[in-house]
Amino acid sequence: MSRVTYDRAKSVTESLESRLTERIDVDAPVSRRAMLGALGVAGSAAVGLSSGVTAQQGHGDDDENDAHGNFGTTGEYEDGFDPHEFLRTFNTGESGQDDLEQEIYEENGETVRHFQFTVVDTTVEIAPGVEFPVWAFESQVPGPTIRAVEGDIIRITLINGSRHGHTIHPHFKNIVPEMDGIPQNGPGVIESGGEFTYEWRAQPAGVHFYHCHALPLKEHIHRGMYGMFVVDPDPERVRENPREYINYQGPIPDEYRDELVAEASQRNHTTAENDEVDELVMVMNSFDTNFDGENEVYAANTRAFAYGAGETDENGNLSGTKRPIQIDKNQRQLVYLLNVTEFDPINSFHTHSQFFDYYDHGTTLQPTHKTIDTVMQCQAQRGIIDLDYSDHEPGLYMFHAHQSEFAELGWMSFFEVV
């Protein structure tokens, strides 16, 4: 890839980012529409801007002392959350985040994956120097990605260190109403200082959502109380019950059955070869910085433009907190995509110069959409994007939301194919 191409991409990212952060001003609350007007010709050249900026004061009496951001035009993120590390971190009970308490063990002949989530009130950086007040699982937004094999038992011990009551509601097939994680069932809301252990069977195979279901629901979700479950298909179960994983009524000869089992094996973290597939977690989210019910910042994995073109070292290697997602063109790419955007009815994912197959909710072993370059999701919808760059030349390939305003307000990214 030419140095000129990369520098031009970096210039566009910096221009959009500077204009975005400059408009987040506590003294002059501004709507998304006004911000887009201010962007104007952003992207034609890098624009140097500097301004003292904070996000608008929060809603609710107990937020009066929250720090809502201090802007310094550093161009780099400074807090500890790394969206590049988050992309490829799957917590399985035996591996994952070093600071997440987790274990895996056998109980009554079944595999149990046990995790401990502590909820805290904190802030996260949504643009360089701009902080947003959140209620968060394990001090991060999105929360940890939990991975299991279908049929496993998932246990999460919730410890509430927040000032507010919270729950965990799973988007699983859950047959025990007491474990639904809503105020009306089971333990109800876990109040500040409280603790409760949820237990669910990981089913069905697919990509699933967890979130707090305390009221007001839109605030608990918007403030960061969400994350993803990845439930891998069991190849042996697929062999025995193939029709549960396909939308097909015709005959299933042995060759077709073997293909389905091979697909399940490649998606299963206990059976796949490490170099076969590159798996990426992307949670599309947004932030209403002045609390007027309209988002000002959009992102994949919380940080605006985090996967845009950023800094390189003297050897041309990627560095810094903002950089494209580097992928090996010889690997199959599976993107586990989830939409958690509040205040907008849909979000979307669009690839430049590429088409993909899409598995809605990830519950099938055959694509539900073939050869598309844009997919829409409502809130809580999720799926698997299957990408193949093996015939592409190395270089930068953009992807972003195809609501253009979302892209200009932070949800614009690049793959760097190598």
pLDDT at 48: 29
pLDDT at 42: 39
Contact 397, 350 (CB under 8 A): no
Spell out the domain ranges in the chain.
83-236, 237-267
What backbone phi and psi angles, to 5 degrees, belong to 157?
-90, 115
Q: In 105-134, which positions are buried (b, 16+ CB within 10 angstroms) versus exposed (e)?
A: eeeeeebbbbbbbbbbbbbbbbbbbbbbbb
Q: Which amino acid is at 318?
A: L
pLDDT at 73: 35
Helix (H, G, I), strand (E, B) or coil at 116: strand
Q: pTM for the complete prediction?
A: 0.90
Q: In 58-67, which positions are buried (b, 16+ CB within 10 angstroms) versus exposed (e)?
A: beeeeeeebe
What backbone phi and psi angles, to 5 degrees, belong to 269?
-70, -15
Contact 330, 389 (CB under 8 A): no
pLDDT at 311: 77
Nearby residues of 15 by Cβ (< 8 Å), 6 or more positions away: 42, 43, 44, 45, 46, 47
Helix (H, G, I), strand (E, B) or coil at 131: strand
pLDDT tens string, the chain, 418 residues long: the values are: 676 788 889 888 888 888 888 878 544 455 665 656 555 443 333 332 223 333 444 444 444 444 333 333 347 888 789 999 999 999 999 999 999 999 999 999 999 999 999 999 999 999 988 999 999 999 999 999 999 999 999 999 999 999 999 999 999 999 999 999 999 999 999 999 999 999 999 999 999 999 999 999 999 999 999 999 999 999 999 999 999 999 999 999 999 999 999 999 999 999 987 688 999 999 999 999 998 999 999 999 999 999 998 877 767 677 788 999 999 999 999 999 999 999 999 999 999 999 999 999 999 999 999 999 999 999 999 999 999 999 999 999 999 999 999 999 999 999 999 9
pLDDT at 70: 34
83-236: CATH class: mainly beta
Nearby residues of 119 by Cβ (< 8 Å), 6 or more positions away: 135, 136, 137, 158, 159, 160, 161, 162, 166, 225
